[in-house]
Amino acid sequence: MRFTTFVLAATFASGLSGAAMAAEGGNAHQFAFTSIDGKPMPLSEFKGKTVLIVNTASQCGFTPQYTALEAVYTKYKDKGLVVVGVPSNNFGGQEPGSNAEIKKFCEGNYDVDFPLTTKYDVKGPDAHPFYKWAEAVGGTPAVPAWNFHKLLIGPDGKLVAEFPSKVKPDSSAVETAIETAMATPKG
């Protein structure tokens, strides 16, 4: 069933017309975050790479997924994968810390080496523009319903899959989607 979710999401995303993509902001490369260290993090830096964007929280039952996220990042980073963690306090107040506290927690407890952004809203009217775009092109399945929701962006900046919180980053469904996206022509 998990693979079916990926196939349906990929089919939906690839079925979007160019006009619809343009009307909804083109692709993910048009958006930028700020890194947890306060530096610009434009997604255009990742053109030609597959990007797994995950909204995270330090006090969630899914927080141990940081271990799997780091393992997936380590496994695929030399093949063109970037994992981006987006701390968010949208769900149950489970990311109350400052950016410095979040960074210390992630590095100290989970040896996180993948890029982290500053804390952002990922749903609702104050959601970061990337998340509004993802909802516009991916519909309800692309909207995080809880912490550790995963959005997979292809090398061309298109949304190719989404995975709910309960799907682990190192599951066969996620890894198959990553491998498929990495094999897509970079054009």
Alpha carbon distance 138, 132 (integer Å)? 10
Does residue 60 carry a catalytic annotation?
yes
Would you tell me how many other CB atoms lie within 10 Å of the CB of residue 108? 9
| In contact, 85 and 41? CB cutoff 8 Å | no
| In contact, 144 and 90? CB cutoff 8 Å | yes
| In contact, 135 and 40? CB cutoff 8 Å | no
Alpha carbon distance 180, 129 (integer Å)? 26
Q: Which spans in the chain are helix H?
A: 2-14, 18-23, 65-76, 99-110, 129-138, 172-183
- Point out the catalytic residue in the list 60, 68, 136, 182: 60
| In contact, 35 and 117? CB cutoff 8 Å | yes
Catalytic residues, by residue number, are 60
